Chain A
Amino acid sequence: MTYLKQDLTSVHEALVNGSQTASSLLKATYANIEQVDADVQAFLTLNQEAATKQAAAIDEAGIPADQPFAGVPVGIKDNIVTKDLKTTAASKILGNFMPIYNATVVDKLHAAGAITAGKLNLDEFAMGSSTENSAFQTTKNAWDYTRVPGGSSGGSAAAVASGQVPMALGTDTGGSIRQPAAFNGIVGLKPTYGRVSRWGVIAFASSLDVVGSLTRTVKDAALTLNVIAGHDDKDATTADIPVPDYAAKLGQSIKGMKIGLPSEYLGEGVDPAVAAQVQKAADQFRALGATVETVSLPHTKYAVAAYYIIASSEASSNLQRFDGIRYGFRAEDVKNLEDVYVRSRSEGFGPEVKRRIMLGTFSLSAGFYDAYFKKAAQVRTLISRDFDQVFADYDFIIAPTTPTPAFKIGEKVTDPLTMYMNDILTIPVNLAGLPAVSVPAGFVDGMPVGLQLIGKQFDEATLLQAGDAFEQANDYVDQIPGGAN
């Protein structure tokens, strides 16, 4: 079973009308994964045994007509914990880690009838933009196996884009859902900070991390958010506000909407061919009855610097828990307790994770805190205010998701700073806690390009309505990747 020409609705129909059972669908899904993933290498761990039992139980109970996920196999990024299913964050330090509980998002998906097919590759601890920082394997772009799938949710994006699962969960700290979605020609939704529980998500930067989805269509993103959104007593940073039906406004006209197009997102460093696709998209929104006007987000150029200080500082604190004592990798032949900490961490973490721990520890250390962490947190306020000013007059913002299409494997991995700059168009959204969705916006030199729609806090419904209208006005969703070509 390939999902290249399927969405949640078509899969659900097949299950309801009986042309598939959850068990037959799962079996066919694994048969396809075995074939396709030999090349793509998106999955780190498969969940075949437990998933097969779950599918049988769902068939036994029957497929409820009002549950679009019932019996549907999904993928989970491997920094989201799954009970009794190995969860590594693509790090050697968690190479054998077996969670004793499920993340809230996993429990919610299971309660809706979804079946966890397996765990998906990422940059170690979600730190990276190419999935090349995984300690275990190199995932390929679904459109060209010599190119990166993006990151850090590269496994999730490549698995969906190559038709292995119809939906995969990802996490987005600085663009880690939207950038790989753009690189693989699919839809990536990063909800508002606090809209989705982080309970059971292995922490990278706690004030920025958000769980979201990678899907083939905007409607599937809405259906996923319907399941995973909401307040969680186990995550005090979730917002206690009602969850609307995110699919309710799909198909409604966007006539009269006001859209801002920030000049800073089309300037230096952005491939002119990518910018041209965004201008083309702006014209399509005008044709749909919206107005598109140039706006300014003047502090955009400081976002990468502020982000790397803030995210690395939070990471250096969060990753202190990996000490080789209670779980995870412990170095052998150690002399004393200090040696357990230092050797386990030094042998267990990869180079990029160490780089961020070092930058974060430096930024928080005595004598440097005011100049680095505090300054970055103040600039973060200015970046949020830029967005507030635009949203006083506009419904949402459109911009490219990435400056270029997917780059070659090995091209940037040796140059951390160049890799960091690749996130310049996605990072400001995380700093301001806004929702954003990347939708396919055509091709440059045969590789997909993403259009990013950025909205007001907790206004995912408008983004999904507009993203769906754009998707319906194009045939990009019908384009099928051929990675070996």
Chain B
Amino acid sequence: MISKESVAHVAGLAKLAFTDDELQQYTNQLDEILNMVAQLETVDTTDVPVTTQSIHLENVMREDVAHNDTKIADLLENVPTKKGTLIQVPSIIDKEDD
């Protein structure tokens, strides 16, 4: 049984915030999913390697050549707020701490 406190800890890692009700709901749902996943424990995986790439490619190399294909103006097109060619963000120091 995963605890509400563990789920709150994971939410912090994932940079997500939940209300208390949402946290309870996600705790219940994750618990149900983890119960389903627990069946994997019954599989004998002794000496079985992991698969993270299904077509067995490894160490794909290419020449280290610099490209300059994208204009700065294009890269800034979707920035929510900017000043000149800089991305504008809120102050990093908490306003209450000023």
Contacts and interface: CB of A to CB of B under 8 A. Distances in A.
Contact of B45 (A382, A420, A432): A382
If over half of A's interface residues share one DSSP class (helix, strand or loop), that class is named, otherwise mixed; here it is helix
A305 interface: yes
Contacts of A379: 40, 43, 45
B66 to A, nearest CB: 15
Interface in B39-86: 39-41, 43, 45, 48-55, 57, 60, 62, 70, 74-75, 77-81
Given A340-B89, A382-B45, A377 B50 contact: yes
Interface of A: 96-98, 100-101, 192-194, 207, 233, 236-237, 239, 299, 301-302, 304-306, 308-309, 316, 320, 323-328, 330, 334-343, 345-346, 349, 354-355, 357-359, 361-362, 365, 371-372, 374-382, 384, 416-417, 420, 431-433, 457
Contact of A237 (B50, B57, B62, B90): B57
A212 to B, nearest CB: 15
A305 B39 contact: yes
B75 A365 contact: no
A168 B92 CA distance: 44
B55 A375 contact: no
A208 to B, nearest CB: 8
A207 B54 CA distance: 7
A320 B70 CA distance: 23
A382 B48 CA distance: 8
A335 B62 CA distance: 44
Interface of B: 2, 6-7, 10-11, 13-18, 26, 29-30, 32-34, 36-37, 39-41, 43, 45, 48-55, 57, 60, 62, 70, 74-75, 77-81, 87, 89-96
Contact of B49 (A207, A361, A378): A378
Contacts of B6: 362
Contact of A377 (B34, B52, B96): B52
Contacts of B33: 308, 359, 416-417, 420
A207 B45 contact: no
A480 B62 CA distance: 49
B18 to A, nearest CB: 8
Contacts of A377: 50-52
Contact of A365 (B13, B70, B94): B13
Contacts of B78: 96-98, 100, 326-328
B20 to A, nearest CB: 14
A299 B48 CA distance: 14
Contacts of A299: 43
9 contacts: A207-B52, A302-B40, A323-B15, A326-B87, A345-B16, A346-B16, A355-B30, A365-B13, A417-B33
Given A306-B40, A378-B45, A361 B10 contact: yes
Contacts of B2: 362
A452 B11 CA distance: 38
